[in-house]
Amino acid sequence: MRRLTWSDVTPKQLWLNRRQIIAGGGAALMAGPALARIKAAPSRYSTDATPNTFEEITSYNNFYEFGTGKDDPKRYAGALTTDPWSVVIDGLVERPGTYDLADVVKGQPLEEQIYRFRCVEAWSMVIPWIGFELAGLLNRVGVQSGAKFVAFEALVRPEEMPGQSSRFINWPYREGLRLDEAMHPLTILATGLYGEEMPKQNGAPIRLVVPWKYGFKSIKSIVRISLTDRMPPTTWNMLQPQEYGFYANVNPKVDHPRWSQASERRVGAGLFAGRQDTLMFNGYEAEVAGLYAGQDLAVDY
Ligand code: MTE
């Protein structure tokens, strides 16, 4: 069977633009005539695995603020107002404040990061994000020396988020990282995918992406980032601590209590494609294993 190429899976204009990048030796994406493209240079961390299609990435989602079904986010997220948007940055920082989205992204170099994405439910995708390093923002606001963790909160707006009428999650959805994880160059704040603004069901206008951790760490629609000296409470860990740890590093050797994590189903790969092996740290072991030297990952799961 012929191997799929970018032109099979990519909207034509974007594919043409990618050819221009290659021709231009890594120059920023050109604005296509039909669609306003986000300017972004390719990331050194991108995988050369074939990305999932835009359709797959935007119609099979977890975003409980809109419901628990995989198609609820696509169905209901259209009503979400993402402009204006601001992010509170507080806690152990030099320059706390309420920052407009434009101010959060100001001066941060956007890159296209094609990352593997592995959900704790054992499905996976490859997603061409547009984003910038979280470290760039943290350095700009100035991290105080006592800070050890970064806590994130997502939007609470029940009138636009029908899933928030259900109380099974104590809203807001919360996540957190250790400071060294947050400062790692693989950790990004993403504002788009496939060269366009972030689709609402994928966490518009700004979300976290931590590609070596299970997808639930990658919190969507962020409104607050707090630097703290304590490990912060996180949504899935609070709900089911025996099943979801704080670290949630992708690890094929530590099974979920109810299913194996040794393999995964690549969304869209077809009924007969079979499962593929899950890689330690989702394939980013060379980059991130050093963060966990001396830690027992079966305990710190
Ligand atoms: N962020 C918020 N705010 N609410 C959520 O329910 N779900 C998480 C994560 N971020 C979630 C969230 C889970 S479980 C996964 S697997 C990913 O988002 C899914 O991201 P995707 O839909 O863009 O693939």
Using the predicted structure, report yes or no on whether residue 89 has a pLDDT greater than 60. Answer: yes
pLDDT digits (tens, 9 = 90+) for 18-32: 534 433 333 344 333
Best probe residue, ligand 1, of 62, 71, 198, 264 (max atoms within 8 Å of C-beta): 62
Per-residue pLDDT, 14: 52
**∠ CA 301-234-227, rounded to 5°:** 105
Six-digit token pair at 30? Answer: 């050109």
Question: Any residues with CB less than 8 A from the CB of 49 and at least 6 apart, and which?
Answer: 114, 116, 126
DSSP state of 281: G
Q: Which CATH architecture describes the domain 6-237?
A: Alpha-Beta Complex (3.90)
The Cα–Cα gap between 212 and 42 comes to: 19
Per-residue pLDDT, 36: 62
Per-residue pLDDT, 23: 37
Using the predicted structure, report yes or no on whether residue 176 has a pLDDT greater than 50. Answer: yes
Rounded average pLDDT over 184-193: 98
DSSP-H helix ranges across 30-158:
54-59, 72-76, 101-105, 134-141
pLDDT digits (tens, 9 = 90+) for 206-253: 999 999 999 999 999 999 999 999 999 999 999 999 999 999 999 999
Q: Which is the closest atom of ligand 1 to the Cα of 221?
A: 3
Nearest CA to ligand 1 atom 21: 61
Per-residue pLDDT, 285: 98
State the Rg of the chain over Cα. 19
Per-residue pLDDT, 37: 81
Using the predicted structure, report yes or no on whether residue 33 has a pLDDT greater than 90. Answer: no
Q: Which is the closest atom of ligand 1 to the Cα of 236?
A: 14
pLDDT digits (tens, 9 = 90+) for 69-79: 999 999 999 99
Q: Which is the closest atom of ligand 1 to the Cα of 169?
A: 6
CA of 2 to the centre of ligand 1 (A): 33
CA of 216 to the centre of ligand 1 (A): 5
Rounded average pLDDT over 94-120: 98
Best probe residue, ligand 1, of 113, 206, 208, 220 (max atoms within 8 Å of C-beta): 220
Nearest CA to ligand 1 atom 19: 62
**∠ CA 238-125-135, rounded to 5°:** 60
Q: Which is the closest atom of ligand 1 to the Cα of 172?
A: 3
Mean pLDDT of the chain: 90
- pTM of the full structure: 0.90
Q: With the C-alpha atoms ordered 102, 107, 109, 115, is the resulting torsion angle positive or negative?
A: negative
User: Which residues have CB under 6 Å of ligand 1?
Assistant: 61-65, 119, 154, 173, 202-203, 215-216, 218-221
Q: Which is the closest atom of ligand 1 to the Cα of 154?
A: 3
Nearest CA to ligand 1 atom 17: 215
Instruction: Name the percent of the chain lying above pLDDT 90.
Output: 85
CA of 242 to the centre of ligand 1 (A): 20
Hey, is 164 helix, strand or coil? helix
User: What's the pLDDT band for 281 if we cut at 50, 70, 90?
Assistant: very high
3-state DSSP percent of the chain in helix, strand and coil, to 5? 25, 25, 50
pLDDT digits (tens, 9 = 90+) for 115-158: 999 999 999 999 999 999 999 999 999 999 999 999 999 999 99
Q: Which is the closest atom of ligand 1 to the Cα of 173?
A: 3
CA of 24 to the centre of ligand 1 (A): 35
Nearest CA to ligand 1 atom 23: 202
The total number of residues written for the chain in this structure = 301
What residue spans define the domains of the chain? 6-237
Give phi and psi for 239, each to the nearest 5: -70, -45
Using the predicted structure, report yes or no on whether residue 196 has a pLDDT greater than 90. Answer: yes
Burial of 188: CB neighbours in 10 Å, binned 0-12, 13-18, 19+: buried
Burial of 215: CB neighbours in 10 Å, binned 0-12, 13-18, 19+: buried
